[in-house]
Chains A and B, each alone.
Chain A
Amino acid sequence: MTFRQFAYRNVVRNRRVYAAFFLASVFSVMVFFLYSMLMFHPGLGERFITGITVVGMTAADIILYVFTLFFLFYSMRAFMQARAGEFALLLQIGMERRQLGRLLFLEMLLLGVASIGSGIAAGFAFSKYFFMIVRELLDLPELPLYVSWQPFALTAGAFLSLFLLIGFLSSWIVRMRDINEYRKGIGASADPFGYSAAKAAAGLLLLIGAYAAALFAGRVNVLYLAVLLPPAATLGTYYFFSHTVLWLIDLMRKRKSIYWRHARLVSFAETAVKIKDNANMFFIVAIVSTVAFLSVGTLASLATYTAQYRALNPLGLVYLSQPDNPDEQAHITSLEKELKQRGLAYEEVRLTVVREQSSYSGQPLNVLRESEVNRLARVLGREGIRLKPGEGAFLPYSPDAASKLKGAEIDTVLEGSGVEVAVRGTMKEMLFPAYALGTNSIVLSETDFIKTASAHADRMYTFYAFDVPEWEETVGIGLRLSGLMSQASLDERPEDLSFYFENPGSDYAVIRSTFHLLLLTGLLVAAVFLLAAGSFIYFKLYTMLDRDRRQAAVLKRLGFTDREFVKIVNRQLVPQFFLPWGLAMLHSTFAFLSLQAIWKDLADLSIVKEMALVLVAFTIIQLLYFYLIRWRYLAHIRGPV
């Protein structure tokens, strides 16, 4: 038997011991693969804002990779802890530590290759269903299964490097330790109540302080808080798991009337042991879950900003024609035709725009005509304006600008025509967004406008504003014009175009799909965190199974009924599952409460509903996972010793 065969048989014949580690790895590989399949999908390209999507997905990919690395490393350490007795035996019969390291490296490589293979296979088998779900979520017409080498190569490459790294690390760690350390058993935590009361109190104070500060967040102090609170909450969370929880349990332990009752003696002490043993892991799960909740909640709220978008884009279609545009009539006719073909009601308002120069600011200035602007305002159901000769008013480019320019009083001379204008205030509401005409536009009285226009016959633009009540239905209208525009910007010759066209309905569809895709990405990453955290708890339980089983046998002899035993198991599992979880919930709730303070001004949205939905969904998944793992654990622990 060669050394390599020994390593191979060690793994294959001890399937049960390696099973938990193997399954956890397979799951990570599977999710990563599904994710890559989505990332490389040829059908996704043109439907989204490419820049944001690529950045978002790459970021998620990196997070996933780092988290998996951490997760595997932590699992590996727990695994080695569980095998301390075996290592002691191997060293005792004369294996060198160098060889032990090599054995571990070979085992890890074997497990790695096996889990990459199975993970990719499972991922590929599930990808059809996965795409079906994604299609539903993103509202895509179709998302067919495809075969390409990229997702396979990315997944295999990423995880191979990961397992090699873990293999090196484990063989290095195993060589660091002495035989006597293995004989004693690694990490059998000596004192479950070894905590520092000062740190325990500090943890509690930090958390309470951070929450209180988050509640009082306003526009003024939110920047300071954004810098101060996350580190405070992070440190508080760390102390909470490594000290505060133990301190709280110890406080109860000192009250015999609470502690010396029924199965509490065992369950409290056992909870303390498990929490102390896994404090670091719980800390990381809590922080990572918080980040996941926050990003998912934020994305969920962005995905629903219809009202906001509509306020910024009150027009259905926008077409701006330059003075020398030969296709003006053809384009407008084709747009009208397309609208009619779709059966969409619309009203078309034609506005004349003169590009002038303001003596006041030295900047280009768009000049519009009172009667035409009022016509557009009427069509949109907004308030018009009445101007005396010599007077002007700003045309606000956003709702914010409308209130900002309200009291503006500027006297200026239009340099081209020499018309003097006293600009007083602004139109009450915005009529069209900045992108077509820029941010500097005023409306002039009829007489002044005619004066200006006659001086600038060569600088007359025509602005076609289409009001389409069913604005979300215009997706795809003017596709040829949009195509011409993106072609020109690709060729870096935008000045060649003699028109500007904008279809807010189409843009909105793209923006929404992009956010939905990002949301899905966030959800997927959060789901990985969630399942990884659950798997890890199961894995830890599994490595402690021998000890727990022996303990269960003793408890049975001492006369614990089955119900009391299940109660003990419940009491030690519930905190492991729901304590990091609950803390993450609290963290994100308070973070959102403070975010809400600025969010309201930033975008007039309430994110409570979306957040609640996300949290409820995650809680349900977590509950299911809890019951699944409790079921498996009880089955194992009741089995023969």
Chain B
Amino acid sequence: MPIVQIEEVIKIYEGKVTHRALDRLSFEVEDGEFLAVMGPSGSGKTTLLNLISGIDRPTSGHIRVAGTDPSTLKPDEAARFRRQELGFIFQDFNLLRMLTVEENIVLPLTLEGMPIKEMDARMRAVAKRLGLADILHKRPDEISGGQEQRTAIARALVHRPSLVLADEPTGNLDSHAAREVLDLMATINRENGTTVVMVTHDPIAASYCDRVLFIKDGAYYNEIHRDDRRRTFFQRILNMLSLLGGNVDDLSSVRLP
């Protein structure tokens, strides 16, 4: 039973220049799968995440996520849907700076009005799992980037969502922290059966997944499945990227803090 179904989805942005961000895209994500979506800059990856999470609506086509079509929901229902069914991991972590690690993790639960004991227990369990138990009372400014992203992962998992959406989760991390985060995501996917859809530029990150979906100019391009050995999987991803062309391994633009 697929948890995400994308059928013939078209997304057109009207403006001074009409832009077709997604062009008759179709694919499915199985329950418990770890999927990477790759494609050059501007290929529609972020648009795809926004459609799945119900922040944006498709121009045509159908989307089903965990049995609901997010595009049919009213704004409040969409918000409730996101906080019950989805978890988000962002490139720049997006932790709330004024909250401690503990408070950041527990945030999605507070919206549901869960009993304090239960919230506390869940938060502690997930924090222990992600190695955050010692820094629960620190604020984001006081911890490293890797710790920040692990906190964000904890926040994305604590309410046990059906689907975790990750947007370039390793984009702002050094290679060591990136590997740590990816290992964690793979482990959680394997052991808890959490479905993860990850959008990425990074072939190393993609090589941790079960399947890599390539899109180009908003349309389906190809997909490859993981085999036994990660090294050969990584090589096949690289080959596919060179076929795909474009600036896949672009660094994301240098930012000033």
Contacts and interface: CB of A to CB of B under 8 A. Distances in A.
A135 interface: no
B208 interface: no
Contacts of A266: 96, 99, 107
Secondary structure dominating the interface of A: helix
Interface in A364-398: none
B110 A260 contact: yes
B199 to A, nearest CB: 14
A191 interface: yes
Interface stretch (B30-38, B59-67, B77-85): B77-85
A37 interface: no
A85 B76 CA distance: 35
Interface stretch (A309-317, A491-499, A560-568): A560-568
B257 A261 contact: no
Specify which of A89, A256, A260, A554 lies most central, judged by the most chain B CB atoms within 10 Å of its CB. Answer: A260
Contacts of A477: none
Nearest to B167: A557
Contacts of A261: 110, 113
Interface in B52-107: 53, 55, 75-76, 79-84, 86, 88, 90, 94, 96, 98-99, 103, 106-107
B99 A256 contact: no
A256 B257 contact: no
Contact of A559 (B84, B119, B120, B139): B84
B103 A558 contact: no
Contacts of B96: 266, 269, 551, 554
B28 to A, nearest CB: 23
Nearest to A266: B96
Interface stretch (A60-68, A71-79, A182-190, A288-296): A182-190
A596 B155 CA distance: 58
B251 interface: no
A576 B80 CA distance: 30
Contacts, number: 84
Nearest to A563: B76
B111 interface: yes
B116 A260 contact: yes
A556 B86 CA distance: 12
Contact of B88 (A85, A191, A551, A557): A557
Nearest to A564: B111
Given A262-B113, A559-B82, A561-B80, A554 B257 contact: no
Given A256-B116, A554-B90, A264 B110 contact: yes
B146 to A, nearest CB: 19
Contact of A265 (B55, B75, B110, B116): B110
Interface string B107-119: 1111101001001
B141 interface: yes
Contact of B94 (A550, A559, A562): A550
B237 to A, nearest CB: 28
Contacts of A479: none
A256 B53 CA distance: 30
Contacts of A550: 94
Contacts of B76: 561-563
A265 B103 contact: yes
Specify which of A266, A273, A559, A560 lies most central, judged by the most chain B CB atoms within 10 Å of its CB. Answer: A559
B113 A559 contact: no
Contacts of B99: 265-266, 269
A266 B110 CA distance: 10
Nearest to B123: A260
Interface residues of B, number: 33
A86 to B, nearest CB: 10
A338 interface: no
B183 to A, nearest CB: 25
Contact of A562 (B79, B84, B106): B79
A328 interface: no
A556 B111 contact: no
A230 B53 CA distance: 57
Nearest to A192: B98
A275 to B, nearest CB: 11
Contacts of A603: none
B257 A185 contact: yes
A89 B103 CA distance: 34
A2 interface: no
Given A265-B99, A266-B107, A559 B79 contact: yes
A85 B257 CA distance: 7
Nearest to B49: A557
Contact of B79 (A88, A192, A256, A556): A556
Interface in A246-261: 256-257, 260-261
B1 interface: no
Given A190-B141, A269-B103, A558-B108, A256 B80 contact: no
B145 to A, nearest CB: 16
Interface string B34-55: 0000000000000000000101
A263 B108 CA distance: 10
B106 A265 contact: yes
A270 interface: yes
B257 A184 contact: yes
A272 interface: yes
A560 B88 CA distance: 13
B111 A263 contact: yes
A262 B111 contact: yes
A420 B53 CA distance: 109
A562 B98 contact: no
Interface string B133-172: 0000001010000000000000100000000000000000
Interface of A: 85, 88-89, 92, 183-185, 190-192, 256-257, 260-266, 269-270, 272-273, 550-551, 554, 556-564
Given A262-B111, A556-B55, 17 more contacts: A85-B256, A85-B257, A92-B256, A185-B257, A264-B110, A265-B99, A265-B103, A557-B55, A558-B83, A558-B107, A558-B111, A559-B84, A559-B108, A562-B75, A562-B76, A562-B79, A563-B76
28 contacts: A85-B256, A88-B256, A92-B256, A183-B257, A185-B257, A190-B141, A191-B139, A192-B98, A257-B116, A260-B109, A260-B116, A264-B110, A265-B106, A269-B96, A270-B98, A272-B98, A551-B96, A557-B53, A557-B88, A558-B88, A558-B108, A558-B111, A559-B79, A559-B80, A561-B79, A562-B75, A563-B76, A564-B111
